[in-house]
C-alpha cells in the first residue's frame, strides 16, 4: 500500500466576481477537473492532486501528494496500472507545501483584476455589458501548453463531455499514476514521449491503440503531433509563450505593442502550431489563449463562420470552389485558399514570383501568348500579413453567436430561420470591388454577376499566375477601366447597359482623391492595420457617417439606394445598412406585414420604412441579420428549410449551383420626382426576368422545359 500525504485546507481570499470555479472549470478550457457529490473539484497538477471548494469570499484548497508516482505508459512500463497498485492511504499534513499556493495563483491566473476588465469591456460593448453580470469570475486558465494542445485536438467535432472522457483515457493509459483519492484513481498528464509508439510490455502506444479507445480520426493527429513535438527541443512549446504570462516561477516581460492582427509573438506561435497535425486556426488559437497566455487569440468555429454559406450568399463574386472542397480567390496580391471542417478554418497563401500587370492604359486587354502559367514556389512559413488578412476579411472580431442570440430574442422569424444558417458573416471587402460587383448586380443573378466580375479581372486586373490549372487575377483598379475603348469592350463581353455605368463610375472615382472611398468607411470597421474609432450614436435612420456615405455613393452612375446600401454594408463596414431588393421586399411582405396601405409597393418611402423597421428590430448590425434572412431566401439554400433532409444536408456541402438564384433588382434614382414610379416599374419588370431565367436554368440542367410565361 502506497502512502500519500494530505495537506490541511488552506484558503485564498478571492471573491466570486474575481474567480468562479464552477464556471471557469466547466466552460471548455480544461477537460480533467472532476466535481464530487460534496461540491469539491479535483484534478492532478504538477505531481499532486489539487482539491478545491469555494464560498462567496474565499477559495479553499488542499494538495494530496503521493509517496512516489508510478509512471505508466512510458517506454518500459505497462499501459494500465498493475493489480498490485492498490488504493493509497493518506496521512494528514497540517502545513501547506511552499509550492501549492503559488501553483493555485498561477494556474487560475489571479494577477489581472477581473472586475476592472469586465468594466472596461462593458463600457466598450453593450452586448457584453448585458451578458456579463450573469457570468462573473470567468478567468482564462494557465494550463500546460502540451495539455491544451492535446485537449483541443480532441475537441474536433466533439463536445465537452466526450473530450473529457478522451483526455481521461489518455491519462489513465499513458500518464504517471499518482494514487487513489476518494476511491478514484488519479494520473498526471502524459508527456509527448509517452505517445510516440515505442514497444512496451503489453501493447504498442500508437494511433491504432487510440482508435481502439474511441479517438477515431483524432488518433492519427495525436500520434503524429506527439512525434513532432517529441522531436523538437524540450522547451519548444514554452518558448512560444507570451512573456507577459510566463511559466510558474519566471519573471514577466513585455510582449510589445498590440497591432490589429495581434502581437508578433502571438502570430509566430499561431503559425508554428499550424504546422502540427490536427491543428487548424481555431485549435491554434485555443492553445495560444489557454496554453500559451496570448490573450488576443480568438478561436472561431462554424457557428462563428461558415465559408460555404458566407462565400455563396451574394456578397463577393470572385470565390471559386474546387472539386476537393477548397475555396480560392486572389486577395492583396496573393491567392488565398481555404477549407473548413466543423472546428477549424484552414488557409494558405500562394504567392506568385512576380505579378504581371494587365489591363492598364498601355497594356493589352488579355494576357499575351508569351505570358505562360506562373510557377508557384511553396512557402512553408506564412508571411506576417496573411493571418491578419484572413481575420480582417472575414470580420472575425464580433461574436456572431451572441449576435444571433440578440436578434433571435428580438425577432421570432429570425429565431426560426437562423439555426439552419449559422456562421453568416459580413465580409470586409475593398469598397471599390463591392461597388463594381453591385453595379453588375442590376437585374442579374449571382452566377451571372460572378461571370461578369471574372471577365473584368481577366481583362483588366493584374495577372498573378495559375493555381490548380486556373488563372488568377487581382481586382482591377478604377484607373484600369478609364480607357476610351472600355465601355464598348465591356458591351462585347456581355455587360449590356451596365458597361456604361461601370465606365462612367470608374472615371468619376479615378478623378477623386485616392482615399475618397476609404474616407467613407465606418471608423469602427477600419482598413487592415488601422485602429478602430467610435462612429457615434445610432438614430433611427442610421449614423451620420452611414447617411453621408450612402448619399455620396448615389451620385455615381448605376448606383441606386440598394447598390449604395450593399456597398455601405459589405464594402464600407456600416452594419446598419439594409439593402432592399426583391428578396428582402418579399421577406418584408411575407414575414413582417409590409405590402398594405401606404407600403403596398416598393417606393422610396417603403424602402426607407423597411430599413428603419429592421434597424429598430436588430440594432446597429441590422445588415448582418438581414443577410441571414436574405441567404435563407435564396433558392440555392432552400433545401436547408426542408425538415426531412435538414440533418443530412447540413452535414455535407450543398451541391445546388447558384445559377438559378432569383434576380436582384436595383433602383437607379435620377430625381426625387420620378423615383417612386421607377422603383415600382423595375420591381414589376424584375418578376418577368426571373420567370424567363428559371426556364433557361431548367433547360441547362437537362430537365423538361416548360412554357415561357410572362406575368403581365
- 310 burial type by CB count under 10 A (0-12 exposed, 13-18 middle, 19+ buried): buried
* Spatial contact of 305 and 345, defined as CB atoms under 8 Å apart: yes
651: which residues sit within 8 A by CB, 6+ positions away? none
Q: What whole-number distance in Å separates Cα of residue 582 and Cα of residue 199?
A: 67
Q: What whole-number distance in Å separates Cα of residue 530 and Cα of residue 516?
A: 16
228: which residues sit within 8 A by CB, 6+ positions away? 275, 276, 277
DSSP string for 98-150: HHHHHHHHHHTT-SS-HHHHHHHHHHH-HHHHHHGGGSTT-------HHHHHH
Residue 352 DSSP symbol:
B
- Whose cell is 501547506? That residue is 96
Q: Which three three-digit cell numbers place residue 215?
A: 479517438
- Whose cell is 420626382? That residue is 673
Closest CA to 286 of 403, 160, 128, 145: 145
Q: Is 562 a catalytic residue?
A: yes
Residue 199 DSSP symbol:
B
What Cα–Cα distance (Å) separates residue 229 from each residue in 232, 273, 284, 443?
Answer: 5, 10, 14, 56
The residue annotated as part of the active site, out of 391, 562, 613, 620, is 562
Q: Please, what sign has the CA dihedral across residues 156, 158, 159, 162?
A: negative
DSSP string for 24-82: HTTSSS-S--EE-TTS-EEEEETTEEEEEEE-SSEEEEEEEEESS-EE-SSTTS-SS--
Q: Which three three-digit cell numbers place residue 632?
A: 435563407
- Whose cell is 488542499? That residue is 62
Q: What whole-number distance in Å separates Cα of residue 38 and Cα of residue 262?
A: 43
Residue 596 DSSP symbol:
S
Q: What whole-number distance in Å separates Cα of residue 428 and Cα of residue 574?
A: 10
What Cα–Cα distance (Å) separates residue 432 from each residue in 328, 478, 502, 568?
Answer: 20, 8, 11, 11
Q: What whole-number distance in Å separates Cα of residue 623 and Cα of residue 694?
A: 28
Supply φ then ψ for residue 602, to 5 degrees.
Answer: -85, 85
- R_g (Cα) of the chain, nearest Å: 29
Query: Which residue pairs from 160-168 have beta carbons closer than 8 angstroms and sit at least 24 positions apart in sequence?
Result: 160/26, 160/28, 160/31, 163/28, 163/31, 164/31, 164/32, 165/214, 166/31, 166/213, 166/214, 166/215, 166/218, 167/31, 167/32, 168/31, 168/32
Supply φ then ψ for residue 89, to 5 degrees.
Answer: -90, 155
Maximum alpha-carbon separation in the chain: 95
Closest CA to 608 of 670, 674, 541: 541
Catalytic residues: 562
Amino acid at each position: 500500500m502506497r502512502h500519500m500525504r494530505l495537506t490541511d485546507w488552506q484558503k485564498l481570499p478571492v471573491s466570486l466576481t474575481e474567480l468562479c470555479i464552477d464556471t471557469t472549470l466547466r466552460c471548455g478550457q480544461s477537460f480533467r477537473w472532476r466535481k464530487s457529490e460534496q461540491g469539491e473539484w479535483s484534478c492532478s497538477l504538477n505531481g499532486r492532486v489539487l482539491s478545491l471548494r469555494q464560498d462567496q469570499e474565499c477559495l479553499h484548497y488542499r494538495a494530496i501528494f503521493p509517496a512516489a508516482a508510478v509512471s505508466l505508459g512510458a517506454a518500459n512500463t505497462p499501459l494500465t496500472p498493475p493489480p498490485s497498485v492498490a488504493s493509497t492511504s493518506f496521512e494528514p499534513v497540517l502545513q501547506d507545501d511552499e509550492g501549492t499556493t503559488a501553483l493555485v495563483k498561477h494556474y487560475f491566473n489571479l494577477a489581472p483584476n477581473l472586475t476592472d476588465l469586465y468594466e472596461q469591456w462593458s463600457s466598450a460593448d453593450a452586448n457584453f455589458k448585458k451578458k456579463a453580470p450573469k457570468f462573473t469570475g470567468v478567468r482564462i486558465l494557465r494550463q500546460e501548453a502540451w495539455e491544451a494542445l492535446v485537449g483541443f485536438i480532441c475537441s474536433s467535432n466533439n463536445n465537452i463531455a466526450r473530450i473529457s472522457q478522451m483526455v481521461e483515457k489518455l491519462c489513465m493509459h499513458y500518464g504517471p499514476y499518482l494514487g487513489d483519492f476518494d476511491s478514484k484513481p488519479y494520473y498526471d498528464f502524459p508527456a509527448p514521449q509517452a505517445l510516440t509508439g515505442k514497444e512496451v510490455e503489453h501493447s504498442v502506444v500508437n494511433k491504432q491503440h487510440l482508435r481502439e479507445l474511441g479517438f477515431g480520426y483524432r488518433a492519427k493527429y495525436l500520434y503524429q503531433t506527439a512525434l513532432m513535438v517529441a522531436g523538437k527541443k524540450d522547451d519548444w512549446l514554452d518558448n512560444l509563450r507570451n512573456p507577459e504570462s510566463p511559466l510558474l516561477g519566471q519573471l514577466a516581460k513585455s510582449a510589445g505593442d498590440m497591432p490589429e492582427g495581434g502581437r508578433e509573438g502571438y502570430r509566430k506561435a499561431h503559425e508554428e502550431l499550424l504546422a502540427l497535425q490536427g491543428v487548424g486556426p481555431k485549435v491554434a488559437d485555443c492553445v495560444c489563449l489557454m496554453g500559451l497566455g496570448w490573450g488576443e487569440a480568438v478561436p472561431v468555429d462554424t457557428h462563428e463562420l461558415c465559408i460555404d454559406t458566407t462565400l455563396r450568399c451574394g456578397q463577393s463574386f470572385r470565390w471559386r470552389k474546387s472539386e476537393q472542397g477548397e475555396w480560392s480567390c486572389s486577395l492583396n496580391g496573393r491567392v488565398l485558399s481555404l477549407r473548413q471542417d466543423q472546428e477549424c478554418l484552414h488557409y494558405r497563401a500562394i504567392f506568385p514570383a512576380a505579378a504581371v500587370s494587365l489591363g492598364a492604359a498601355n497594356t493589352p486587354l488579355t494576357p499575351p501568348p508569351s505570358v505562360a502559367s506562373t510557377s508557384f514556389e511553396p512557402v512553408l512559413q506564412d508571411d506576417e500579413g496573411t493571418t491578419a488578412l484572413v481575420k480582417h476579411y472575414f470580420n472575425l472580431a464580433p461574436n456572431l453567436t451572441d449576435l444571433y442570440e440578440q436578434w433571435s430574442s428580438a425577432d421570432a422569424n429570425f429565431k426560426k430561420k437562423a439555426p439552419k444558417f449559422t456562421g453568416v458573416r459580413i465580409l470586409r471587402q475593398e469598397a471599390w470591388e463591392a461597388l463594381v460587383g453591385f453595379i453588375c448586380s442590376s437585374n442579374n443573378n449571382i452566377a451571372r454577376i460572378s461571370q461578369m466580375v471574372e471577365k473584368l479581372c481577366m481583362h483588366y486586373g493584374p495577372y498573378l499566375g495559375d493555381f490548380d490549372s486556373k488563372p488568377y487575377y487581382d481586382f482591377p483598379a478604377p484607373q484600369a477601366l478609364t480607357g476610351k475603348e472600355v465601355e464598348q469592350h465591356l458591351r462585347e463581353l456581355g455587360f449590356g447597359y451596365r458597361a456604361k455605368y461601370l465606365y462612367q463610375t470608374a472615371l468619376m472615382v479615378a478623378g477623386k482623391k485616392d482615399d475618397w472611398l476609404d474616407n467613407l468607411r465606418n471608423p469602427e470597421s477600419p482598413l487592415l492595420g488601422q485602429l478602430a474609432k467610435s462612429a457615434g450614436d445610432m438614430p433611427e435612420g442610421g449614423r451620420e457617417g452611414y447617411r453621408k456615405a450612402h448619399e455620396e455613393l448615389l451620385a455615381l452612375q448605376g448606383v441606386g439606394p440598394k447598390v449604395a446600401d450593399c456597398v455601405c454594408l459589405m464594402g464600407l463596414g456600416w452594419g446598419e445598412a439594409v439593402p432592399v431588393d426583391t428578396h428582402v421586399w418579399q421577406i418584408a411582405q411575407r414575414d413582417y406585414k409590409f405590402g398594405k396601405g401606404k407600403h403596398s409597393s416598393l417606393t422610396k418611402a417603403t424602402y426607407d420604412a423597411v430599413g428603419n423597421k429592421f434597424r429598430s428590430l436588430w440594432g446597429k448590425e441590422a445588415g448582418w441579420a438581414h443577410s441571414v434572412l436574405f441567404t435563407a431566401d435564396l433558392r440555392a439554400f432552400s433545401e436547408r428549410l426542408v425538415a426531412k433532409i435538414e440533418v443530412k444536408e447540413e452535414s455535407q456541402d450543398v451541391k445546388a449551383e447558384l445559377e438559378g438564384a432569383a434576380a436582384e433588382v436595383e433602383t437607379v434614382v435620377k430625381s426625387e420626382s420620378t423615383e417612386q414610379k421607377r422603383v415600382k416599374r423595375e420591381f414589376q419588370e424584375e418578376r418577368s426576368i426571373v420567370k424567363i431565367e428559371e426556364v433557361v436554368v431548367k433547360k441547362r440542367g437537362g430537365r423538361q422545359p416548360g412554357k415561357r410565361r410572362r406575368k403581365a
